[in-house]
């Protein structure tokens, strides 16, 4: 019988393990792929309090080593279901099953890719899914933002403060984001809208040197000479396996607030997998701490 089963080995899950172990609980992290989560692909983190510069890989490995030094066990197994089992929970993986007194779901969310050739290859070499994480590396350079929602508009506004030129590429002629944000971008001299268009190719050998966009109405192709492509077309949480114990919002995120409490006592949600306004490294770490302490209180209350 485990005290706490933590599903996901990203920043939220690893932080949860650290807090749970320090509280004297036995915590096991279940991770399908590799520890660290999305942040592993970030070449340089500049916005984590107290650490001026660190690569995403170094940050993730440091967090992992800290958790393991406290006694965390990491099992590389894909959790396929979490179900109530009397006073505990049955955690099923592809190869085994475990009983746990409490469960923390920290499955994260993947950035939705464009799905074009060389996109994955160019991550960290000009392709990014987080303007606030990576935007500062493109000071005084030309970049493109692909997307039409509030995230894309906010990313473009942020980048316009540092970049020489920002192209905003959207497949429709109207944005889904707030009109106020659209008007703000229109007022900036270094922002250009490229509407009714999609990115159809990424150019450059070792790094991004441009993107090809194709007009959806005319088929005309155009090359934008940019050093960076910021993709902001949404995220994809992977929470369908847990619908027996949590409720999901229409976008697939676990319904849980800043307390990380779900509608099921004993099940908590931390990090990018839950409903929240801000998805950043700091908020993932905060969620991990909040969820772990809440899980410890729950277990102690059960006697």
Helix (H, G, I), strand (E, B) or coil at 150: helix
Characterise 71 by phi-psi region: left (phi > 0), alpha (psi -120 to 50), beta (else).
Answer: left
168 pairs with which residues across the strands? Answer: 145, 193
The candidate with the shortest Cα–Cα distance to 75, out of 20, 2, 25, is 2
Distance of alpha carbon 140 from alpha carbon 240, whole angstroms? 42
Rg (CA), the chain: 21
Q: Are 211 and 226 in contact (CB under 8 A)?
A: yes
Query: Measured in Å, how far apart are the chain's first and last C-alpha atoms?
Result: 14
The candidate with the shortest Cα–Cα distance to 82, out of 93, 69, 91, is 91
Catalytically active residues, by annotation: 130, 133-134
The candidate with the shortest Cα–Cα distance to 4, out of 139, 142, 101, 145, is 101
Q: Are 107 and 288 in contact (CB under 8 A)?
A: no
The candidate with the shortest Cα–Cα distance to 251, out of 272, 281, 282, is 272
Phi, psi for 97 (deg, rounded to 5): -145, 145
For 138, which DSSP code?
G
């Amino acid at each position: 019988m485990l005290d706490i089963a933590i599903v996901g080995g990203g920043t939220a899950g690893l932080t949860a393990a650290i807090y749970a172990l320090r509280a004297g609980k036995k915590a096991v992290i279940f991770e399908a792929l590799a520890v660290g989560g999305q942040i592993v692909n970030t070449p340089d983190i500049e916005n984590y309090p107290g650490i001026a510069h660190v690569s995403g890989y170094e940050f993730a490995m440091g967090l992992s080593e800290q958790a393991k030094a406290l006694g965390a066990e990491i099992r590389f197994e894909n959790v396929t279901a979490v179900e109530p089992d009397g006073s505990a929970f049955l955690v099923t993986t592809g190869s085994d099953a475990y009983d746990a007194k409490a469960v923390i779901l920290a499955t994260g969310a993947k950035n939705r890719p464009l799905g074009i050739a060389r996109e994955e290859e160019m991550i960290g070499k000009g392709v990014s899914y987080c303007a606030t994480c990576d935007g500062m590396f493109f000071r005084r350079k030309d970049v493109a933002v692909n997307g039409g929602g509030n995230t894309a508009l906010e990313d473009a506004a942020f980048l316009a403060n540092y970049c020489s030129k920002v192209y905003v590429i959207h497949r429709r002629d109207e944005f889904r984001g707030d009109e106020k944000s659209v008007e703000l971008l229109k007022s900036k001299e270094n922002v250009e809208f490229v509407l009714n268009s999609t990115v159809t190719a990424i150019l450059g050998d070792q790094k991004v040197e441009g993107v090809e966009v194709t007009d959806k109405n005319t088929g005309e192709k155009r090359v934008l000479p940019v050093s960076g492509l910021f993709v902001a077309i949404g995220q994809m949480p992977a929470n369908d396996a847990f619908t027996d114990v949590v409720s999901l919002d229409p976008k697939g995120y676990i319904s849980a607030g800043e307390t990380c409490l779900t509608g099921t006592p004993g099940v908590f949600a931390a990090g990018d997998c839950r409903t929240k306004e801000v998805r950043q490294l700091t908020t993932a770490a905060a969620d991990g701490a909040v969820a772990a302490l809440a899980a410890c209180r729950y277990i102690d209350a059960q006697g």
